[in-house]
Chains A and B, each alone.
Chain A
Amino acid sequence: MLKKILDFMRKNPALVGFIGLFIILSIFTDSFFNMNNIINVFRQASTIAILGFGMTLVIISGGIDLSVGSTFALSAVVMASIVKGGNVLLGICVGLLIGAVMGTFNGIVISKGKIQPFIVTLATMAIGRSLTLAYTKGIPISLFPNNFRFLGRGDVLGIPVPVLIMLGMFFLSLYILKKTKLGLYIYSIGGNEEATRLSGVNVNRYKVVIYMLSGLFSAVSAIILTARLNSAQPTFGQGYELDAIATVVLGGASLAGGKGGVLGTLFGALLLGTINNGMNLMNISPFYQDLVKGIIILLAVFLEHQD
């Protein structure tokens, strides 16, 4: 029994870390454990969580996507300029389209060009950032109609819309991984790409779909943050690719591919969000915050790899 519990803890470092930190912060700070603050943590985690879900699909398939932050920014600013003109629905659709196109481009170059995902997405990260700056001329696009802002600031029955969207994207990615042929192939490509190819699967086509989804998820995340902030910044999303990768790894997926799941990623994002929130509440000097964050990530991953 004890062994089973320990095993479970080992396999779910993010969940254990999240619950552990949750209890510690509830005891040692007077401001953590109240409804408002916990809603804050969830709302704040939603942006990175959604990027993380897309990244989970990519990483399980044995790839990596460094361009998510730039895709996020490009889709945010183009969407924002259309929404600002009054056409909310069109803006959102174009934003999503840009995410999907950027992802598809990644997928095509990776699979047809047979180039490592790390290099391809490193390049598209730079391209996306530059397009964002060129499109905005470096100036943020701000102030949107209220129905758009609802997506970031509104709530339904007390649950913030960003959290609802995060849950929606969670179930979508869970469905993809568990119930579809695509999900099956994601694991199998990550496990052994060559064997998958030899068994007659069109690996290239599935790879394009996987990266397209990653881009699409980035765009969904961009909608939330743009609406929440009431502004799309040309500097949006810098460093988000690393946070997204951290949530996936915290969630128990392996960068070697073939294993992992989105539930772990969800808790990974909540853990990162709680760390950030908790360090603010405990008034830890900003100079030491990354140290704490790094140690917690190392601890979680270390635990997972002790067999």
Chain B
Amino acid sequence: MKKLLLLFALVIFSTFSFALKVGLSISTLNNPFFVDLANGARDKAKELGVELIIVDARDDSAKQLNDVEDLISQKVNIILINPTDSDAVVAAIEEANNANIPVITVDRGASGGKVLLHIASDNVAGGRMAGAFIAEQIGAKGKVIELVGIPGTSSARDRGKGFNDEIAKYPNIKVVARQTANYNRAEGLVVMENLLQAHPDVNAVFAHNDEMALGALEAIKAAGKIDDIIVVGFDATPDALESVKRGELAATIAQQPYLMGSLAVEKAVEYLQTGTIYFPVELQLVNQ
């Protein structure tokens, strides 16, 4: 009996002390995209039997730095960071570096610090893809509206940059309005209603995320212009995919947040257990 107890205690002790602790600092859980990413990470952690600690920076770089410091305090074995901003995250990564905790970045990259691995879908490339699609659909000429995400966020910056770089290649396409709807569906509706007053002859709308795209789509439907204006979103949320299937939303740029989260945890554990990371070449960049 005593032996059995001892064995039992040993088993408990070993599961506690040997379980790997993985920290995930996520930019915001106030957005289905990142919730998906977190879910992917959580499910994979469960599957692999590692402890996953998720902290939410709420799109605040300062909170993200605090969160990462807290993860370091908890002595996690590895930290996955989905940066709120590529520059501001460097301070956090350097602190992890100093504590000898390896760092993997997810979705957005970091502009400094020692990063083991970057698992990403490229927002600039996504914006470019949207631009190319719209140009093709409207025959390389016409008027386009860009609905900007929350000003100052890196996703809005990158998607906008990719889109505008691409559109600049077509001299006959003009971006007639560039307004923010703060990644918000209700604001997308209102902003688009207003813009339709000023630009009734617009040919296409590119929205930095699906929420704004779906809001804009409602305004366009209400104005009876659903056949004249194409709307392209970003993120491929379930609502957006449904709308594409119905033939309303022209397209959405699909990233795979669930896969990104899952892959990040998988690679983190692989690194902790073997000291190396194996990557079949085609998986190095999780794109689209």
Contacts and interface: CB of A to CB of B under 8 A. Distances in A.
Q: Do A and B bind each other?
A: yes
Interface of A: 31-32, 34, 36-37, 40, 44, 47, 133, 136, 138-140, 142-143, 153, 225, 228-231, 233-236, 238-239, 276-277, 280-281, 283, 285-287, 289
Interface of B: 29, 53-56, 59-63, 65-67, 69-75, 85, 87-88, 90-91, 111, 150-153, 156-157
Contacts of A32: 73
Contact of A277 (B66, B88, B153, B156): B66
Nearest to B26: A286
Contacts of B91: 153, 228-231
B71 A280 contact: yes
Contacts of B54: 283, 285-286
Contacts of A225: 62
A235 B87 contact: no
A149 B242 CA distance: 49
Contact of B88 (A40, A230, A281): A230
B150 A281 contact: no
B75 to A, nearest CB: 7
Contacts of A283: 53-54
20 contacts: A34-B73, A36-B72, A37-B73, A40-B69, A136-B152, A140-B152, A142-B111, A143-B87, A228-B62, A229-B61, A229-B91, A231-B61, A233-B88, A233-B152, A234-B151, A236-B61, A236-B62, A238-B60, A280-B74, A286-B54
Contact of A235 (B67, B72, B75, B150): B150
- Pairs of residues from A and B, 3 with the lowest C-beta to C-beta distance, nearest first: A286-B56, A234-B152, A142-B87
Contacts of A47: 62
Contacts of B150: 235
A287 B29 contact: yes
Which of A140, A153, A225 has the largest number of chain B CB atoms within 10 A? Answer: A140
Nearest to B112: A143
Contacts of B29: 286-287
* Most chain B CB inside 10 Å of its own CB: which residue of A142, A236, A277: A142
Contacts of A228: 62, 65, 91
A271 to B, nearest CB: 15
Nearest to A73: B152
A289 B54 CA distance: 12
Contacts of A34: 73
Contacts of A231: 61, 85, 87-88, 90-91
A285 B39 CA distance: 12
A272 B129 CA distance: 44
A32 B157 CA distance: 38
